[in-house]
Chain A
Amino acid sequence: MGTESNSLQLTGGQRSRSARERLYRWLLFLCAAVSVLVTAGIVAALAVDAVQFFLMVPPIEFYTGTSWVTAREEFGALPLIFGTLAVTVIAALVAIPTGVAAAVYLSEYASERVRAVLKPGLEILAGIPTVVYGYLALVYLTPFLRRFGLDLGTFNILSASIMVGILIIPMVSSLSEDAMSAVPESLRQAGYGLGATKFDVSTVIVIPAATSGIFASFILALSRAIGETMVVVMAMGLRPRMPAVQTGLFGIPYVDPAATVSNSGQTMTSAMVQAVTSDVSAASPTYKSMFALGLTLFAITFCMNYLSNRIADRYREEYE
Chain B
Amino acid sequence: MAGEPADTPVSIESPSETESVSRFRGLVFEAVCALATVFGIAVVAALLVYVANDAFRPFSADPRWHAVFLATLVAPVLALSGYYAVRDRASGAVAFTSLGVPVVGLLGGGGLLIIFRELIGPQEWLATVVALLVAAGAVELHRRRRSQAALERLLVLLAAPVLSLFGVPALSVHWTFATPLTGTELFTVSLATPELLPSVRELLLLVPVLPVGWILLVATVAVPTGLGFGLAVSRRRDDERGLKEFTAGAALVGVVGAVGAMLAGAAPNAGVLLATAVVVPMAFYLEGVARRGEGLQGLPFPVVVVAGLLAGVAVTNALGFAGPDPWLDWSFLTSATSRTPTRAGIYPALVGSVLIVVVIALTAFPVGVGAAIYLEEYAPNSGRMGRLVDLIEINIGNLAGVPSVVYGLLGLALFVQGIGLRAGIVVVGGLTVGLLILPIVIISAQESIRAVPGSMRQASYGMGATRWQTTKKVVLPEAMPGILTGTILALGRAIGETAPLLMIGVASSVRSTPQGFFDKTGAMPRQIFSWSSEIQPEFRYGVLAAGVVTLLVVLLMNGTAIVLRNRYQRSE
Chain A residues within 8 Å of B, Cβ to Cβ: 1-13, 15-21, 23-25, 27-36, 38-39, 41-42, 45-46, 48-49, 51-52, 97-99, 101-102, 104-106, 109-110, 116, 118, 120-125, 127-132, 134-136, 138-141, 166, 169-170, 173, 197-200, 202-203, 220, 223-224, 226-230, 233-234, 269, 272-273, 276-277, 282, 290-291, 294, 297-298, 301-302, 304-306, 309
Contact = CB atoms under 8 A, between A and B. Distances in A.
B396 interface: yes
Given A2-B235, A20-B153, A197-B23, 10 more contacts: A3-B478, A4-B238, A29-B374, A49-B413, A127-B489, A129-B493, A131-B498, A197-B26, A199-B30, A291-B413
B410 A38 contact: yes
B470 to A, nearest CB: 9
Contacts of B51: 135-136, 140
Contacts of B541: 139
Contacts of A139: 532, 540-541, 544
Interface stretch (B31-39, B68-76, B206-214, B291-299): B31-39
B61 interface: no
Nearest to B480: A1
Contacts of B44: 125, 128, 136, 166
A25 B478 CA distance: 20
8 tightest Cβ-Cβ pairs between the two chains A and B: A129-B496, A227-B403, A31-B370, A45-B413, A101-B36, A199-B26, A105-B33, A28-B374
Nearest to A38: B435
A2 B392 contact: no
A16 B149 contact: yes
Contacts of B399: 35, 38-39
A39 B498 contact: no
Nearest to B561: A127
A302 B398 contact: yes
Given A16-B149, A135-B544, A306-B398, A2 B236 contact: yes
Interface stretch (B98-106, B112-120, B215-223, B458-466): B458-466
Question: For the complex, would chain B's binding face be called helix, strand, loop or mixed by DSSP majority?
Answer: helix
A19 to B, nearest CB: 4
Q: Is chain A's interface secondary structure helix, strand, loop, or mixed overall?
A: helix
Contacts of A131: 496, 498, 525, 528-529, 551
Interface in B60-85: none
B456 interface: yes
Interface string B251-272: 0000000000000000000000
Interface stretch (B124-132, B189-197, B552-560): B552-560
Contacts of A138: 532
A7 B463 CA distance: 11
Contact of A199 (B25, B528, B551): B25
Interface string B464-479: 1111110001100110
Contacts of B34: 105, 109-110
A45 B464 CA distance: 47
B150 A16 contact: yes
A35 B47 contact: no
B496 A28 contact: no
A101 B23 contact: no
Contacts of B361: none
A243 B44 CA distance: 30
B404 A166 contact: no
A291 B414 CA distance: 13
B273 interface: no
Contacts of B403: 224, 226-229, 269, 297-298, 301
Contacts of A140: 47, 50-51
Contacts of A102: 33, 36-37, 39-40
7 contacts: A8-B465, A8-B469, A16-B147, A23-B150, A101-B35, A118-B37, A234-B532
Nearest to B531: A135
A125 B33 contact: no
Given A3-B478, A106-B37, A227 B405 contact: yes
Contacts of A141: 47
B139 to A, nearest CB: 14
Interface stretch (B160-168, B331-339, B499-507): B499-507
B394 interface: yes
B2 interface: no
A129 B30 contact: no
A1 B37 contact: no
A67 B283 CA distance: 65
Kindly name the residue among A32, A224, A290 whose own CB sees the greatest number of chain B CB atoms within 10 A: A32
Contacts of B37: 101-102, 105-106, 110, 118, 122, 173
A263 B328 CA distance: 33
Nearest to A304: B401
B562 A120 contact: yes
A277 to B, nearest CB: 6
B43 interface: yes
Interface in B354-404: 366-371, 373-375, 378-379, 389, 391-392, 394-399, 401-404
A127 B499 contact: no
A19 B150 contact: yes
B59 interface: no
Nearest to B557: A127
A38 B555 CA distance: 27
A109 B371 contact: no
Nearest to B397: A309
A203 B238 contact: no
Contacts of A105: 30, 33-34, 36-37
A71 to B, nearest CB: 19
Contacts of A98: 36, 39-40
Nearest to B375: A32
A48 B413 contact: yes
Nearest to B35: A101
Nearest to A129: B496
Contacts of A109: 30, 33-34
A297 B406 contact: yes
A309 B30 contact: no
Interface string B529-572: 10010000000110010001001100100110011001000000
Nearest to B401: A305
Contacts of A129: 493, 495-498, 525, 551, 555
B346 interface: no
A20 B157 CA distance: 13
B405 A294 contact: yes
Interface in B409-440: 409-410, 412-414, 417-418, 435, 438-439
Contacts of A23: 150-151, 154
Given A10-B465, A35-B442, A272 B405 contact: yes
A29 B379 CA distance: 8
Contacts of A30: 370
Nearest to B504: A276
A34 B496 contact: no
B492 interface: yes
Q: Give the one of B147, B403, B408, B558 with max A CB within 10 A.
A: B403
Counting chain A CB atoms within 10 Å of each CB, the highest count among B389, B413, B465 belongs to: B413
